[in-house]
Amino acid sequence: MALHIEDYALISDCHSAALVGRDGSIDWLCLPRYDSASMFGALLGTEDHGRWLLAPSDPGATSIRSYVGDTFILSTIWTTKTGQVEVLDFMPHGDGRADVVRSVRGISGHVEMRQDLRLRFGYATTVPWVRQLTHEKTPGLIAIAGPDAVVVRGPALHASDHRHTATFTVSANEFVPLHLTWYPSHRPLPAPLNVSEAFTHTREWWESWADACVHSGEFRGSVVRSLLVLRALTHERTGGIVAAATTSLPEIEGGTRNWDYRYVWLRDASLTLQVLLSHGYESEAQDWRAWLLRAIAGDPNDLQIMYGLSGERYLPERELESLPGHRGAAPVRVGNGAVGQFQADAVGEVMMALHSARGAGVEETEFSWPLQLALMKYLEENWQRPDQGIWEVRGPAREFTHSRVMVWAAFDRAVRGITEYGLPGPLDRWRRIRDEVRRDIEERGFNVARGCYTQYFGSEEVDASLLLLPQVGFCEPTDARMLGTVRAIEADLLRDGLVLRYRTTPALDGIQGGEHPFLACSFWLVEQLAGSGRTDDAVVLMTRLVALANDVGLLSEEFNVTTGHQAGNTPQALTHLALVRAADAIEAAAHTSRSGGAAASVAGGRTVDEQHDDRAEDRDHPGAQIEERAHVDTEDQPRQPATEERADHTEQQGDEPAAALRAGQDQLGQGAGQQAE
């Protein structure tokens, strides 16, 4: 049976990744890309579905593990009765190959190690034909099945019932390298790898990349690791950013909410880009924008919400019979049926990311602004359509409030592309639509009786995605309506102090069963608390959340507060980018407190003092009783002296007493004291 999700560590070469268990077994590996078929699939079944175990023969051996500095080189120290060894697992970076290295270094005494290699290509549908490598000094195996081939070099392996095993002893100061290389079966056998050089280069590359991180807050360690995760999930050649490294890890144990996340969602990739940009990583913006231009080239009416790593459009969802699922949670799915959904928020995230890129100094190309013009034309024609929303519900399409806010954000960034950067476009029309969208949200997406924004127009329910409204500049974190929404979320969606996405019902999302708290949503709450003056609450919740990461700092999609186990695909880009934003918000709040200034909003590491007024001039909507207030520009940069859309209004704090700012603190405080076991 597979280990629990938090028992796995990631190694990556920025093309694909492997998951290495605490027991020393690589239980998930897809080569040469994240979305390739698995050759080790024990994560979604048993060892017979493919794995590569390397561990001491002693069943009583104990281990501790960590990454080597700020890298994805995994160090596992094994201690036995007879000695101690270190296993270094990594995927070499930058050599144009698809390698996995597992080297053993003797520390003291002597330790007998064992290997158990079970190659299963094509999601465990194929046992390859295997032969010994005889013409090299180092023993090895060559395994071939259809288009796939691997060569495994290291201590001699011996066949035994569709697997290959070996034992070897490592003494103090002895070094035993093992490595696996995938290659297309029609190509020549790759040459042996220089393991020492590969280790040195890979370590230097990761640490150099991490050294560029711009962040100095108390959660810097978690921020750097999260940024490294985001970089690992970014395909180096294409620029596509996958949502997670895995498919079908269940959102609830034994349940059916199991999805394939090894694709590029416009939303998740755009949000990732904004976070990377704001921490000093501008080259990734160039690569992702180039990916975007290729992926969505053509008729904007054919726009999809997700694509393959190279921009592939055909991603049909199918269920695999060859893999029984993680700890029995079926089905295992490949592809994703949401690819055909209309999600109105996607264009908004893209426009925000491209606006951030402009602010970071990434110049428009002859194709990039025309692309945005085409996207806005598409949105003009479709923004009033009901959609499936950010959560990709498989129930009826609705007018989700968050989706409409992201429509507003799209038109807002398009308008500002003209007014702040002198780009051509229908300024008056976009302003008019932007203001119309805002009025629509305030009139139909706000429940006066509850005093909060709602999940969708006409509903009384709330949704954690409403926590994003201040992040995109639609309102201030201290807006009276936003504070009311936070109170409703804390009342309806907190489970043991962590935030659910929404209250699941088959009528809403079309899926049976519930789910656990969604970690990204909890980090969104941290950002909101920090931005609205509840900094102590923010720090308490943030401290609890980072403690939910596993021993090497990785977080999945959800967390089971009852069992203390992670749930959903891992590591999850959305979770880690939300962690970074939350840490930035706390750092900004602390800076504001030290300087004695008024609270400023934060986005992606930049404290924003300059505020942007975008409220419609129509004062007849339900929000008219609230004094007009400025709205945070979450990606604001020094402006070009073009037509200004600005108002020098002071921030509206509302008439709430101080106690209202701390609504729900007791519940948060109680939940924050409960750590995962």
Q: The domain spanning residue 86 has which CATH number?
A: 2.70.98.10
Do 183 and 232 fall into the same domain?
A: no
Do 506 and 610 fall into the same domain?
A: yes
Secondary structure E strands in 427-573: 446-447, 452-453, 494-495, 498-499, 558-560, 565-567
In a domain, 75, yes or no: yes
In a domain, 219, yes or no: no
Q: Is the peptide bond before 331 cis (omega within 30 degrees of 0)?
A: yes
Do 125 and 269 fall into the same domain?
A: no
Cβ-in-10-Å burial (0-12, 13-18, 19+) of 167 comes to exposed
Do 196 and 263 fall into the same domain?
A: no
CB of 26 closer than 8 Å to CB of 51 = yes
Do 545 and 480 fall into the same domain?
A: yes
In a domain, 218, yes or no: no
Q: Could you tell me the CA-to-CA distances from 21 to 4, 48, 51, 180, 232 in Å, in that order?
A: 9, 16, 10, 17, 18
Do 173 and 266 fall into the same domain?
A: no
Please give the pLDDT value at position 638.
33
Q: Could you tell me the CA-to-CA distances from 120 to 4, 115, 131, 322 in Å, in that order?
A: 21, 16, 15, 11
Sequence length of the chain is: 677
In a domain, 449, yes or no: yes
Do 120 and 269 fall into the same domain?
A: no
| Overall domain count for the chain | 2
Cβ-in-10-Å burial (0-12, 13-18, 19+) of 301 comes to exposed
- Residue 212 identity (one-letter amino acid): A
Do 183 and 239 fall into the same domain?
A: no
Please give the pLDDT value at position 668.
36
Do 551 and 632 fall into the same domain?
A: yes
CB of 251 closer than 8 Å to CB of 516 = yes
Do 169 and 266 fall into the same domain?
A: no
CB of 578 closer than 8 Å to CB of 556 = no
Rounded CA-CA distance 672/559 in Å is 14
Q: At what angle do helices 368-382 and 345-359 cross, to 10 degrees?
A: 150
Domain-terminating residue out of 201, 236, 256: 201
Domain-terminating residue out of 201, 233, 252: 201
CATH number assigned to the domain comprising residue 438 = 1.50.10.10
Please give the pLDDT value at position 643.
34
Please give the pLDDT value at position 216.
86
**What six digits make up the tokens of 532?**
């609205």
Do 186 and 256 fall into the same domain?
A: no
In a domain, 50, yes or no: yes
In a domain, 486, yes or no: yes
Do 174 and 270 fall into the same domain?
A: no
CB of 515 closer than 8 Å to CB of 558 = yes
| Structural element, H or E, at residue 591 | helix 573-595
Q: What is the pTM of this model?
A: 0.88
Cβ-in-10-Å burial (0-12, 13-18, 19+) of 450 comes to middle
Please give the pLDDT value at position 602.
45
Domain-terminating residue out of 168, 201, 234: 201
Residue 380, phi then psi, degrees to nearest 5: -55, -35
Domain range enclosing 25: 5-201
Q: Per-block average pLDDT, block size 10, for the chain (677 residues)?
A: 97 98 98 98 98 98 98 98 98 96 98 98 97 93 97 96 96 98 97 97 98 90 97 95 97 90 93 91 88 86 92 96 96 94 91 93 91 94 94 90 97 98 98 98 98 97 97 97 98 96 78 85 98 97 98 98 97 98 96 67 37 36 33 34 32 32 34 32
In a domain, 210, yes or no: no
Q: Is the dihedral of CA 635, 636, 637, 642 positive or negative?
A: positive
In a domain, 27, yes or no: yes
Rounded CA-CA distance 580/219 in Å is 9
| Structural element, H or E, at residue 109 | strand 98-118
